[in-house]
A and B are shown apart, each in its own frame.
Chain A
Amino acid sequence: MAAEEESEMSEVLPREILKPFNKMPVRNAATVLLVGSYGTGKKQLAKSMVDVCTDTGLKLQVRTTTSLPLPEENTDTRPRIDYIAFIIDLTNRLSFSTVQSAVQCVDVEYFLGRACFVVTNVKGTSDHCVEMEEVSRLADMYNTMYICGGIKEGDPDERTTLANRLLQLVEVSAGRKNVSPLLVDLTCRQLSFQEEQTEFYTV
């Protein structure tokens, strides 16, 4: 069954998978990659992140893309990607499906605290085309946290708040805070430990 399903998908070549530790880090600098389809507000978010960062002494570079894998021509000139933020707009089904296909091109190491899902347009459930449940299922499958925020709607303050939250995570993965991103990731999610209930599993 697994073999059939794998053959139906297009193969992701090993050289296309984005890896965090292929390149050397740069002192006092960080690079963030924002992945999201057209119209989700990546450029606005990028601008507000850079604005917040100008006075903290961290040189931030924000790259945006609508799909992964990234083009090969830039592989040598591109710096090390410290953090990846996948942007999902709940009123846009296409953004969810591009994120679903993009997460396959990312190495496992990123999901240990160096990536997150940013969910926008969460308020106003009458416009939702993607259920929040599907997003949380995706996030659980990749063991990665998701942040709800507003980029295009609402006040510009919401965007600044979201940018600040992302920046705190970026600083941890860039190595500025003397704490491993995996530790931060573990403390960020609500988990409860339950005894196994065998009736939920079938063989």
Chain B
Amino acid sequence: MPEDFDTPDHDVSTPVTGVSSSPGSERNTLRNTRHGAGAKDTPHGEGGASLSVSKLNRTVQRGYLQRKYTPYRTPRTRSMVSPAADRTNTAEVAAPPDWSSLVRCSLSVYHVTPLYRCCWDRAGLKQLSGALSLHLAQLATAAGDNMYRVSITAKENTDDRLALEITVKRTDMTGRAGSLYAVLCNMEGEVTQLEQGAFTVLPLLLMTGPGTLQNAVGSWLEQRFDCRVCPMTFQPSDLLWAMALGLIRGTNDKVKKQTLDLHYNVPLKEAGLSKISLQIPVKHAKALLSSVTEDTENDLQLDELHLFRQALEAHMFHYFRIHLDTMKLCLVATPVLFVDKNGRLKILSVNHAPAVLRMMTSFAFERSPLTMCLKAANESRM
């Protein structure tokens, strides 16, 4: 059945009556789609995105010709609001979990496929800690007598989501030197973790600590839960979303210099110049962003982000004759967060940690279509 494979393309603004050569038709792609609910596209094309097409198209013919698309499309809006913990003030909501151990340290970001058979009760978690310490002891026999103390706990988040927290401490050192801290979480992602049968969906893994320990914990997770742990890399478009989040979500008064740093890699053939770095004062960048967006409180549209990027590029071309379009964005640093294209992340303020985690979760979901297939398979079974 063709419906299984193609997503109806509701972003095409072609007038079906023919190709028009009017000058306005091409600009429309940048500005015309304003999505109401800002939902992401699911493989079955059920997204709530709506498109305004002229009435003429609808009445002219009953069906439409369209290209077959791949099942996954990148989302056109992202929510900039923090998860429900900040929004609701009711007393019944449990105290939000403490993310302060993730703040101000250099995190490596990984995305994880669904975990098989992860049990959440205390006995199960104790068993997991035992298994991990055994695994680390086996790996450490070659390197010497480093004993590690492992603890795995579950962190209760709001709206009943759980995050798995792994702490590996060396017994001979105190403090955080040489120890690893990892969090596996699913922050308001589309697929909730507990409804998938034997699988638990925790797509985001953040680890901080020595590289060998990170590899060891990653390989243990793969063996124990039959999943894949892959380091996440960020495309320039993802870095732009993170930059927008950092600008909108605001201020961190502890940081001394409030600038937005953007680093660009220069393509190889420009001899002698390998990197361009821009520093923009945050208030100017925020003013620019707010002038292109309509609704900074909730959702940011892809078109608005494109406008911001184009404004920046036009400015650089006008004053410096540098085509920023040909460069590739590799690093973004705002007062709130720091993201690198190789998957390094630093969250600099604990209030904004949930919002950053939520964006990272959505990136992780985009990189594993396996999770979407799991959800689809479960839905079809029920």
A and B associate: yes
What residues of chain A have their CB less than 8 Å away from a CB belonging to chain B?
Answer: 2, 5-6, 8-9, 11-12, 17, 39, 91-94, 97, 100, 103-104, 106-108, 111-112, 125-129, 131, 133, 136-138, 140-143, 189-203
Question: Which of chain B's residues have a CB closer than 8 A to the CB of A5?
Answer: 24, 27-28, 31
Contact indicator B2/A137 (Cβ below 8 Å): no
15 new A-B contacts at CB < 8 Å, known A140-B9, A201-B57: A6-B22, A9-B23, A9-B24, A94-B323, A97-B325, A104-B23, A108-B21, A127-B328, A193-B64, A194-B2, A194-B63, A196-B58, A200-B10, A201-B50, A202-B51
> 9 closest A-B pairs (Cβ-Cβ)?
A94-B325, A93-B325, A108-B21, A6-B24, A200-B10, A191-B65, A202-B50, A94-B326, A111-B19
CB distance from B214 to the nearest CB of A (A): 21
Contact indicator A194/B66 (Cβ below 8 Å): yes
Contact indicator B26/A194 (Cβ below 8 Å): no
Contact indicator A141/B13 (Cβ below 8 Å): yes
Q: Determine the distance from Cα of A201 to Cα of B10 in the docked complex, in whole angstroms.
A: 8
Interface pairs (15), CB distance under 8 Å: A5-B24, A6-B23, A9-B27, A39-B326, A100-B26, A108-B18, A108-B20, A129-B236, A131-B74, A137-B12, A191-B67, A192-B2, A193-B65, A194-B66, A195-B63
- Chain B, 65-97, contact with A by CB distance < 8 Å: what is the 0/1 string? 111110001100000000000000000000000
The count of residues in chain B whose C-beta lies closer than 8 Å to any C-beta of chain A is 52
Question: Which of chain B's residues have a CB closer than 8 A to the CB of A194?
Answer: 2-3, 6, 8, 63-64, 66
Question: Which of chain B's residues have a CB closer than 8 A to the CB of A104?
Answer: 21, 23, 26
Known: A129-B328, A194-B66. A141 touches B235 (CB 8 A): no
Q: Determine the distance from Cα of A5 to Cα of B27 in the docked complex, in whole angstroms.
A: 8
Question: Which of chain A's residues have a CB closer than 8 A to the CB of B65?
Answer: 191-193
Q: Determine the distance from Cα of A94 to Cα of B12 in the docked complex, in whole angstroms.
A: 22
Question: Which of chain A's residues have a CB closer than 8 A to the CB of B9?
Answer: 140
Number of A-B residue pairs with CB-CB distance less than 8 Å in the complex they form: 122
Q: Determine the distance from Cα of A12 to Cα of B23 in the docked complex, in whole angstroms.
A: 7
B297 interfacial contact with A, CB 8 Å: no
What residues of chain B have their CB less than 8 Å away from a CB belonging to chain A?
Answer: 2-3, 6, 8-14, 18-29, 31, 50-53, 55, 57-58, 61-69, 73-74, 233, 235-237, 267, 269, 323, 325-326, 328-329
The residue among B19, B55, B58, B269 with the most chain A CB atoms within 10 A of its own CB is: B19
Question: Which of chain A's residues have a CB closer than 8 A to the CB of B29?
Answer: 137-138, 141
Q: Determine the distance from Cα of A126 to Cα of B341 in the docked complex, in whole angstroms.
A: 9
B68 contact from A12, A125, A190, A201, Cβ within 8 A: A190
Question: Which of chain B's residues have a CB closer than 8 A to the CB of A202?
Answer: 50-52
Known: A5-B27, A11-B23, A192-B68. A200 touches B323 (CB 8 A): no
Question: Which of chain A's residues have a CB closer than 8 A to the CB of B236?
Answer: 129
Question: Which of chain A's residues have a CB closer than 8 A to the CB of B21?
Answer: 17, 104, 106-108
Nearest A residue to B306, CB-CB: A134
Q: Determine the distance from Cα of A183 to Cα of B6 in the docked complex, in whole angstroms.
A: 25
CB distance from B301 to the nearest CB of A (A): 15
Question: Which of chain B's residues have a CB closer than 8 A to the CB of A128?
Answer: 235
CB distance from A22 to the nearest CB of B (A): 15
Q: Determine the distance from Cα of A72 to Cα of B252 in the docked complex, in whole angstroms.
A: 56
B67 contact from A94, A108, A127, A189, Cβ within 8 A: A189
Contact indicator B23/A196 (Cβ below 8 Å): no
Q: Determine the distance from Cα of A131 to Cα of B52 in the docked complex, in whole angstroms.
A: 23
Contact indicator A39/B269 (Cβ below 8 Å): yes
Question: Which of chain A's residues have a CB closer than 8 A to the CB of B323?
Answer: 94
